[in-house]
Structure 1
Amino acid sequence: MGILAHPEEMTVSEATQRGVAGLVAEAERGTDVVVTRHRRPVAAVVAYQRLEELSQAAEDLRDFALVLARQAVDSGNRTSLDAVLQAYGHTRDSLADMPDE
């Protein structure tokens, strides 16, 4: 199954005949529409709710990929904040004394 579940395909000419209102009605009924030009997909019309679902799925996949990447390279060693601050010549107090920009 692709991102769009059983989309209806139509040419640009067919989409023009159906009009924006017709394409929107299809999307509201849950039908994904793929518009083609010279047999190549050039646009898709989907319900806004479906677009939000796809966007959330993409965000979840990015988060999952980040977790997997971090897990793959994690040595288990940890460095405390104080050790990092010391390496850069700071302390928690010296950071607190810095002016806000």
Structure 2
Amino acid sequence: MRTDTKNLVSVTDFSRHPSRYINSAANGTSHVILKDNRPTAAVIDMESAERLAHLDELEDDLKLMAASLVRLVTDDGTRHSLDDVAAEFGIDLDELRKD
């Protein structure tokens, strides 16, 4: 999603004419709302919002896949029992099980 610099809107102007910018976004033109001359929010159409949400999900999936691949490549087959790991970190598993 690209926003043209012509589509920068002050928060004051947006608050005076919200329907103008909402209708414009519904027709595919996104607007960036400026507060104190800094980009603060955006008004976009629902299709773009859904696309961004989908991209966020894909990003999460890609991070998990990358972590899995790293584990596959670096796995030397060594495994550790829970008791060994707890002992290494000074954790009393019996104490944890009481709760």
Which residue matches 1:9?
A: 8
Deviation sequence 1:51-96 (CA, Å, 0-9, x none) = 000000110011011101110112386xxxxxxxxxxxxxxxxxxx
Question: Counterpart of 1:52 in 2: which secondary structure?
Answer: helix
Map 1:1-40 to 2 at 5 A.
4-7=1-4, 8-17=7-16, 19-40=17-38
Question: Counterpart of 1:36 in 2: which secondary structure?
Answer: strand
Give unpaired runs (5+ residues) of structure 2. 78-99
Structure 1 residue identity aligned to 2:40: V
TM-score using structure 1 length: 0.65
More helix by share: 2
Give unpaired runs (5+ residues) of structure 1. 78-101
Matched positions, count = 74
**Structure 1 runs (4+) greater than 3 angstroms displaced:** none
Map 1:67-86 to 2 at 5 A.
67-74=65-72, 75=75
Question: Counterpart of 1:34 in 2: which secondary structure?
Answer: strand
TM-score using structure 2 length: 0.66
RMSD: 1.9
